Amino acid sequence: MTLDKIREGLGQFFEEHRFLDVARMRPIPHEAYYANAGYFYFFGHYYCAQAINLLPVAERESWHAKLRPHLAKTLRQDGSTSDFHIQSWSVTAGTAFASAALALGLPERSGTGAPAPAPAPSQAAPGTVKPPAATKK
């Protein structure tokens, strides 16, 4: 995958974001446009943050700055969030994915050029892109 394709995909993510917004918290899965379901919301944002971190360091902050408001607008007063109605597990999963997506956008580690460490799921789904490994001094 080329950097241009990653940039193109990120551009489409933000350009078409309204379809994620419309599906979030809908009680019936896949009833929104394009058969999207609310439970894709934070999953998609987490993988968007990972894709951002595949870009050169100098480009990342502008993309993360576009991502943060979409996550922040979903936060509840207690700091938790959810993307699917009624399911108790969705609060845990939504908060975890939103936190991980935000963590991937933290500032670089003291001049190493490596992203700040972020929590990762215990098992990555097959075929998913892992965040770049931190470089060692």
pLDDT digits (tens, 9 = 90+) for 77-131: 988 887 776 677 777 788 888 899 999 999 876 566 555 554 444 444 444 455 5
Spatial separation of the C-alpha atoms in residues 15 and 3, rounded to whole Å: 18
- DSSP H helices, 53-112, are 57-72, 89-103
Mind listing the pLDDT tens digit for each residue in 5-20?
A: 999 999 998 998 877 7
Whether residue 136 is contained in a domain is answered as no
Whether residue 39 is contained in a domain is answered as yes
Whether residue 123 is contained in a domain is answered as no
In one-letter notation, the amino acid at residue 66 is K
Contacting residues for 93 by C-beta, under 8 A, at least 6 apart = 39, 42
In one-letter notation, the amino acid at residue 104 is L
Spatial separation of the C-alpha atoms in residues 73 and 6, rounded to whole Å: 25
Closest CA relative to residue 50, chosen from 123, 119, 126, 113? 119
Domain span holding position 97? 3-103
The tally of domains found in the chain comes to 1
Whether residue 10 is contained in a domain is answered as yes
Whether residue 110 is contained in a domain is answered as no
